Amino acid sequence: MISLTVTIFGWFGMVMLVIGFYLISNGSWNPRSIAYQTIQCIGCVFVTIDSLFRGAYPAAFLQIVVIIIAAKTINDVILKKAQEIEKMGDD
């Protein structure tokens, strides 16, 4: 039962990553958008679970790196928006 659950997690994560890639590729989303980076993080978390369960450590490592990059990008975007709002308040 655990194996089936982990497999479903893996497929769910892959679908999220493919949807994100499609939306970036056709220009619907900006690569620095919070929506895209969030779908990347969530998709990678599910793929990481599947990869670790199967002992695919290089794939899991790659997903963890992508999660870190996406989380940093989300943080940068939020901070930039906060600075822009603060600037508008100073005017």
If we measure between CA atoms, which residue out of 10, 72, 67, 15 comes closest to residue 41? Answer: 67
Confidence at residue 1, expressed as pLDDT on a 0 to 100 scale: 87
If we measure between CA atoms, which residue out of 25, 3, 15 comes closest to residue 47? Answer: 15
Confidence at residue 91, expressed as pLDDT on a 0 to 100 scale: 64
Confidence at residue 88, expressed as pLDDT on a 0 to 100 scale: 86
When pLDDT is cut at 50, 70 and 90, the band that residue 87 belongs to is confident
Confidence at residue 9, expressed as pLDDT on a 0 to 100 scale: 96
pTM beyond 0.85: the answer is yes
CA quadruple 83, 84, 88, 91: dihedral sign: positive
Q: How far is Cα 66 from Cα 60, in angstroms, rounded to an integer? A: 10
Residue 36 contacts residue 29 (beta carbons within 8 Å): yes
The model's pLDDT over 4-17, given as tens digits with 9 standing for 90+, comes to 999 999 999 999 99
The model's pLDDT over 20-72, given as tens digits with 9 standing for 90+, comes to 999 999 999 999 999 999 999 999 999 999 999 999 999 999 999 999 999 99
